[in-house]
C-alpha cells in the first residue's frame, strides 16, 4: 500500500502543501523517516516541533497524524 506524507518541522519551515507530499511504501517506512527528521537529520536542520500527516493516494484529507511522543517514539493517531 502506498502512503503519502506531508511533513512539517516547526516554525523554521513553511506549511506543507499537496505538492510537498512524499511517497512511501508503507506506514512503517514513513514513521521511520519522520522520527529520523525529528531526532536531528542533518539534511533537515532547525526542526522544532515535528509533525506529519499521512494520506492515501489522491486523498484530500489525512488518515493519520504523526507526532513525537513523550518518551521519544512516534505517536500515530487517527484524524
pLDDT of 61 reads 94
pLDDT of 75 reads 96
If you write DSSP's letter for every residue of 8-42 in order, what string do you get? E-STTSPPP-GGG-EEESSHHHHHHHHHHHHTT-T
pLDDT tens-place string over residues 4-63: 999 998 888 888 888 889 999 999 999 999 999 998 888 888 888 899 999 998 888 999
pLDDT of 48 reads 84
pTM of the model: 0.88
pLDDT of 18 reads 86
- How far apart, in whole angstroms, are the C-alpha atoms of residue 52 and residue 30? 9
- How far apart, in whole angstroms, are the C-alpha atoms of residue 71 and residue 66? 14
Amino acid at each position: 500500500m502506498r502512503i503519502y506524507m506531508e511533513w512539517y518541522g516547526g516554525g523554521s519551515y513553511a506549511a506543507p502543501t499537496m505538492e510537498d507530499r512524499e511517497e512511501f511504501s508503507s506506514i512503517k517506512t514513513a514513521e521511520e523517516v519522520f522520527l529520523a527528521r525529528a531526532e536531528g537529520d542533518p539534511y533537515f536542520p532547525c526542526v522544532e516541533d515535528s509533525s506529519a500527516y499521512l494520506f492515501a493516494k489522491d486523498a484530500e484529507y489525512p488518515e493519520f497524524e504523526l507526532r513525537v511522543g513523550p518518551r521519544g517514539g512516534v505517536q500515530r493517531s487517527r484524524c
